[in-house]
Structures are given as C-alpha cells and as structure tokens.
C-alpha cells in the first residue's frame, strides 16, 4: 500500500473560516438535517446562533438509501442557506454529492461537506481538492483510520490543505444505536495527522437521549468541534426526525459543554 504523505505534518493545522479558528478552540456546527423552507432554516439558524453555535449546517443535496425518499431542495436549498447566513452571520456548511455541483455549492457555502457514503468517491475528492474552500470529510461507515486519511490525502494532493475530519459513527452489530460513535478515533487522529477532528454524535447514535452525553464525551476525548442536528420543530422534519434536538435542548447542552470546557481550558 502506498504511504501517506501530506496528512501527517508536524504543525497542527488551524483553519480560519470567516474568522472562526477551527483547531484552536472548540467549535460547534449546528442546524437541521435538511433545509426544508425559509422559515425553518432561518428560525433554526437564529436559535443555534443565540445558543452559541459557530457555524450553520443544513443539507440541500441529500444522499438517501431509497430514490423515493426526500432528496433535498438542491439549488433552492442553497439559496435558503444564503438567506439564513444573511440573517445570522453564521458561515454555512453543506454537503456536495456530485462533481458537477462543486462550483455551485462553492458559491453559497463556506465549508463543503463530503458525506460518509462518498468517502471513497475519489472523483469527488479530487474535485474538492481543487477548490479554495474548507472541506469537512466524514468518515465512511466502515472505514479504518488509514483509509480515511488516504481519502483526505486525495484532497490535499490536489492542492487544498483545508480539510477537517469528522467522525460520525461506524457500523457495528449494535442495533440500539443507529451507528457506533468511535470516540477513540479522536486521540488516534490527533497522534496520526495535523488535521483537526470534529465529532457528529447526531448521526453517530441516532437517538435523542444519547446525544448530550456523547457530546460531552467527545469534548473530553479531545475533539476540536461538534456537529449537532438541531431543528426548530423536529416532529415536523422531513428527515432524521428522531435525532434532531429542539432549540431548548440545544441551549441546555451548550451550557453543559461550556462548563465542561472550563476544566480543560484551566488544565
């Protein structure tokens, strides 16, 4: 197997997204699974901003197991994210799933996300390797650390050094949770690469009650950030109903995260 070259540099990477320093302080990315309509995305954006989130997430292109499931609003979804950004100032994180959409998504997003299903879509990785925007690369559902870093290597090799890794749970035999969030990957990433690592407990566990403790555990494990699904009205959501926090739950969680951070900041 060919060796890793660009993903294991000595100096830890700090990425600046509109003034937010990722890799320096804990950052929180929050927002709904899918962008559904203007009211939904703007209300949610305002709520997560007030609670202390640093970036807004929202899916416009949704990779779904069935072709008959909601596939996202596409370009309209991107435009609604732009509106939410204007209202709140929050930078936008959104997924891209097709090489031909990369340019368009770049016009609206501050950070492009490669989802777990596309971690081995090398054409797409090369394409986002040629842009000037930060890329969040989610770990594939069964990817090893080595395979994941190789996927990051594809992006770096094309000239884009701004890559953030995101753990989102791997597939195991446990059925109680949607996936198994692998928090030991956080210190493993820290000692293997200079790239920042964030954790997405929402997809990792897929169960509302388990998200807050896993957020705290991710912070304690040393994560550089969290990605959390929040929806202004989860019961009406078109996707991922069971794992989106209400704004109130999110505020409480942010309070607990801040309290936990004091231990690490002071130590």
Question: Residues 135, 136, 218, 227: which binds a copy of itself (CB under 8 A)?
Answer: 218
> Quick one: which segment of 16-24, 25-33, 178-186, 242-250 binds a copy of itself (CB under 8 A)?
178-186
The torsion angles phi and psi of 23, rounded to 5 degrees, stand at 105, -5
In contact, 224 and 23? CB cutoff 8 Å: yes
Under the binding rule (CB under 8 A), the answer on residue 21 touching a copy of itself is no
Under the binding rule (CB under 8 A), the answer on residue 214 touching a copy of itself is yes
Q: Count the residues in the chain.
A: 267
Within 1-20, which residues bind a copy of itself (CB under 8 A)? 1-3, 5
Distance CA 161, CA 207 (A): 34
Residue 232 CB, nearest distance to a copy of itself (Å)?
A: 25
Within 151-170, which residues bind a copy of itself (CB under 8 A)? 153-154, 157, 170
Is the CB of 33 or the CB of 56 nearer to a copy of itself?
A: 33
Looking at the DSSP assignment, which residues form a beta bridge with residue 199? 167, 226
Question: Residues 21, 79, 133, 141: which binds a copy of itself (CB under 8 A)?
Answer: 141
How many residues bind a copy of itself (CB under 8 A)? The answer is 72
Question: Residues 123, 159, 236, 248: which binds a copy of itself (CB under 8 A)?
Answer: 123
Question: Residues 171, 236, 248, 265: which binds a copy of itself (CB under 8 A)?
Answer: 171
Question: Residues 19, 132, 191, 235: which binds a copy of itself (CB under 8 A)?
Answer: 191
Under the binding rule (CB under 8 A), the answer on residue 77 touching a copy of itself is no
Under the binding rule (CB under 8 A), the answer on residue 235 touching a copy of itself is no
């Amino acid at each position: 197997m060919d060796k890793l070259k660009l993903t294991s540099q000595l100096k830890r990477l700090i990425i600046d997204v509109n003034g937010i320093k990722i890799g320096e302080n804990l950052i929180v990315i929050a927002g709904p699974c899918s962008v559904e309509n203007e009211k939904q995305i703007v209300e949610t954006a305002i709520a997560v901003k007030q609670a202390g989130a640093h970036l807004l997430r929202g899916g416009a292109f949704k990779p779904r197991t069935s072709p008959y499931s909601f596939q996202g609003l596409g370009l309209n979804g991107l435009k609604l994210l732009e509106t939410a950004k204007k209202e709140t100032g929050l930078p936008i994180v959104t997924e891209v799933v097709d090489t031909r959409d990369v340019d368009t998504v770049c016009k609206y997003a501050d950070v492009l996300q490669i989802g777990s299903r596309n971690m081995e879509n090398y054409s797409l990785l090369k394409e986002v390797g040629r842009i000037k925007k930060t890329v969040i690369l989610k770990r594939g559902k069964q990817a090893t650390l080595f395979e994941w870093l190789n996927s990051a290597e594809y992006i770096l090799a094309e000239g884009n050094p701004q890559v953030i890794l995101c753990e989102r749970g791997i597939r195991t035999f446990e059925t109680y949770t949607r996936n198994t969030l692998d928090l030991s990957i956080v210190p493993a990433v820290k000692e293997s690469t200079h790239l920042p690592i964030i954790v997405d407990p929402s997809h990792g566990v897929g169960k509302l009650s388990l998200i807050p403790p896993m957020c705290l555990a991710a912070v304690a494990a040393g994560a550089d950030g969290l990605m959390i699904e929040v929806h202004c009205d989860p019961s009406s959501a078109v996707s991922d109903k069971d794992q989106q926090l209400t704004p109130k739950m999110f505020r409480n969680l942010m309070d607990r995260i801040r309290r936990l951070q004091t231990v690490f900041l002071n130590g």
